Amino acid sequence: MLYKDQELKIYNSISGEKEHFQPINEGHIGMYVCGPTVYSNVHLGNVRTFMSFDMIFRYFKHLGFKVRFVRNITDAGHLENDADEGEDRIAKKARLEQIEPMEVVQMYTVDFHNILSAFNFLAPSIEPTATGHIIEQIEIIKEILDKGLAYEVNGSVYFDVLKYNESYHYGKLSGRNIEDLIHNTRALDGQSDKKNPQDFALWKKAEPQHIMRWPSPWSDGFPGWHLECTAMSTKYLGETFDIHGGGMDLKFPHHECEIAQAEACNDKSPVNFWMHANMLIMNGKKMAKSTGNYILPNEIFSGDNPHISKAFSASVARFFMLQAHYRSILDFTNAGLLASEKGYFKLMEAINSLDELSHSDKTDGFDVAAWRLNCYDAMNDDFNSPILIAELFAAVKFINQLKDHKASVSKPDLDTLKQTMRAFTFDVLGLENEGVKQDSGNKLSEAVEILINLRADARANKDFELSDKIRDELAAVGIQLKDGKDGTTFSTN
């Protein structure tokens, strides 16, 4: 197994340091990443965070780890302003669109999956939903109440942050200090049932008009947003697991509250490594749905957005994003995308010429073995994809020299070069080979042309049975023939 030769370092948000990564069970990794709240289309910022973890998942798999990667779908409990007040995001959308909340959930879950597969994401191992785990959430609330770290008021249950902080440390992840929090949070306005403004909801009693409600010992209501991730991560990965990830903006309060809930229940730290992906920004501000400062993936693919001059493929956008380290802020610009497009095609051209290269007795002009190790070193240093990409371009330069007969490569080195280039580009970075895609598109056209000509011959011979068979069987695989005055054309669906 490759992972046995590698010393992997991961930046742990909770210690603020890169630490040697050792999974709890050798060869196995449990990783949980907070998924989307499915009340609107995912924007490119959301895609960036999920892509960082897709790359990380891919690298673990490449190293030979068996990874259980859990990424949830938030389909209840996430209120408008990430706090305990306001309308449920999904219920609000349902009200505005006059459809059922579960129709909203279905629509945007499908959108999320379509967008992720357009960007060539691997599917997670488990994709659980909040509404599918109400019972587990209720059980956790009971345990926290039993421990005396939560209280019930008027059918709602709140986590008692001050009480918890007497024995544990609220703020250990975000670095926030409880005194400052008390100082800086608005005093309760008399409308809230909470004892202290820092407390957060574990269960909320539903107002009569609230449609998303479930029975519980306390009221007909719904779980607090932070609780679902504690319930689903514990259920599928255990009381302590290896990695928990999400966007930087989830560190507080979401992840801080997850730690508090899990520690209150199990009296141990739920996660060994906390990983936070940094934000995609545009015009100097965080890309966000709420401010209108966002771009949708489909607008990238169509070019239909004032921020960009043309359409870009998903692979180019993926390459653009992975050229930044996952913990760095990335500024979305048209110029950046244009530069990435050039780089991407240069990389693909070099990879597509690998099979044409011939070897000699010895290698001259490049140290293939050292270069391969550099690729691993880059990824082992907290998944440094920009350094990895720089290494891939060092190899591109060598490949181009080989093509120009200005360097030479031995048979074993050429094999290593091919295998390493492909593994990192396709398996780890998850780029797709558009050169090949175009090529297979051309081959498809040529094959269909042959069938169109055979059908024309059949018709000329009055063999309508055969001509119809060709048309129908092509239609059955999604290729429609259209007879026009200039001959027959085809379209695919």
| Interacting residue ranges for ligand AMP, rule: CB under 6 A | 34, 36-37, 45-46, 48-49, 246-247, 249-250, 279-280, 286-288
**Gyration radius of the chain over CA positions:** 27
Residue 249's binding partner among ligand AMP, Zn ion, none (Cβ under 5 to 8 angstroms by kind) is ligand AMP
Is 250 or 431 the residue whose CB approaches ligand AMP more closely? 250
| Beta strand residue intervals within 304-444, DSSP E | 330-331
Residue 279's binding partner among ligand AMP, Zn ion, none (Cβ under 5 to 8 angstroms by kind) is ligand AMP
Q: Determine how β-strand 479-484 pairs with β-strand 330-331.
A: unpaired
Residue 229's binding partner among ligand AMP, Zn ion, none (Cβ under 5 to 8 angstroms by kind) is Zn ion
d(CA 406, CA 93) in angstroms, rounded, equals 62
- In degrees, rounded to 5, the angle at the alpha carbon of residue 377 between the alpha carbons of residues 275 and 419 is 110
Residue 357: CB minimum distance to Zn ion, A: 47
Residue 159: CB minimum distance to Zn ion, A: 15
Q: Determine how β-strand 17-20 pairs with β-strand 200-205.
A: unpaired
Is 72 or 384 the residue whose CB approaches ligand AMP more closely? 72
Residue 48's binding partner among ligand AMP, Zn ion, none (Cβ under 5 to 8 angstroms by kind) is ligand AMP
Residue from 38, 115, 206, 229 that binds Zn ion (CB under 5 A)? 229
Is 280 or 414 the residue whose CB approaches ligand AMP more closely? 280
Residue 429's binding partner among ligand AMP, Zn ion, none (Cβ under 5 to 8 angstroms by kind) is none
Which two tokens mark 98? 């006059």
Task: Please name which of 3, 43, 42 lies closest in space to residue 22, comparing C-alpha atoms.
Answer: 3
Q: Are 272 and 21 in contact (CB under 8 A)?
A: no
Residue 488: CB minimum distance to ligand AMP, A: 47
Is 197 or 247 the residue whose CB approaches ligand AMP more closely? 247
Alpha helices, H only, 238-280: 256-266
Task: Please name which of 210, 207, 186 lies closest in space to residue 196, comparing C-alpha atoms.
Answer: 186
Residue 25-64 contact track with Zn ion, rule CB under 5 A, x = bound: ---------x------------------------------
Residue 262 in contact with Zn ion, rule: CB under 5 A: no
Q: Sign (positive/negative) of CA torsion 262, 264, 265, 267? A: positive
d(CA 493, CA 236) in angstroms, rounded, equals 38
Is 105 or 229 the residue whose CB approaches Zn ion more closely? 229
Interface ranges with Zn ion (CB under 5 A): 34, 229
